[in-house]
Structure 1
C-alpha cells in the first residue's frame, strides 16, 4: 500500500498567484476555488493531459508524470494575511510540485510534511 502524507503549504498572495501558462493556470477567486482546482489536478489526469498536449512529442511524455490519487484531499483557508493549504495524498512531492507550479507558479511554500 502506498503511504499517504499531509503536505502543509502557505501561499502569501493567492489573489495574484498564477502559473506561467494561462491554459494551465488557476483562475479562481479564493481558497475554496483553489482547493477544488488542486484537488481535481491531483485526482484526475485533466490538467496533466492539457500540459502533455502542448508538448512537442506528447506520445513520448512519461505517463508516470500523470499519476493521480483518486482519494486526494485539499483544504485551504485564510490565516492572518496568507492562505494555508493542507494536502492529503499518496502522490510524491515531485508530482504535487508539478501541479502546483502549473496552477500557481512559484507562489507557494512548503511548510511541513507528515505521514497521514
Structure 2
C-alpha cells in the first residue's frame, strides 16, 4: 500500500543534513524532489550512511529498504518548497532518509493512505 507524505522545506537553503556527503545538494523544488526520490528508490544513500557507522554490519538491514516505484514531486513557493512523496516505504524509513538529506530543516505536513 502506498502512502502519500506532504513535506515542507520551510527554508530550502538550510535543508542540508549534518554530513555533507549525505546531504541535499539541490537548489529548487525539482532538484529536491529528484534527490529524495532517488533516496527512496535506490540503496545508494543508505549504503553511504551505513559505511560511515562504527560497525556497519550491526545496522539493521531493514532500514535500507527501497521502493523502486516511489514518486516525489516538488513545488517552489516564495519562501519554501513543498514535496509530495508517494511510497510504500514506512514513515520510519522516509524520516531517516529525510534527516540524512535535510537534517532537521523539514516538516511533515500530512500523511494520507
> What is the aligned partner in structure 1 of residue 52 from structure 2?
54
> What is the aligned partner in structure 1 of residue 98 from structure 2?
100
Q: Distance in 1 between matches of 2:39 and 2:54?
A: 22
Q: Distance in 2 between matches of 1:16 and 1:113?
A: 23
What is the aligned residue count?
113
- Which of 4, 9, 12 pairs up with 1:11? 9
> What is the aligned partner in structure 1 of residue 63 from structure 2?
65
Q: Distance in 1 between matches of 2:79 and 2:32?
A: 16
Question: SS of the counterpart of 2:73?
Answer: strand
Question: SS of the counterpart of 2:82?
Answer: strand
| RMSD of aligned alpha carbons | 0.9
> What is the aligned partner in structure 1 of residue 41 from structure 2?
43
* Contact 1:36–1:74 (CA under 8 A) maintained in structure 2: yes
Question: SS of the counterpart of 1:91?
Answer: coil
Give TM-score scaled by structure 2 length. Answer: 0.96
Structure 1 ranges of 4+ moved more than 2 A: none
Q: Which moved more, 1:28-37 or 1:39-48?
A: 28-37
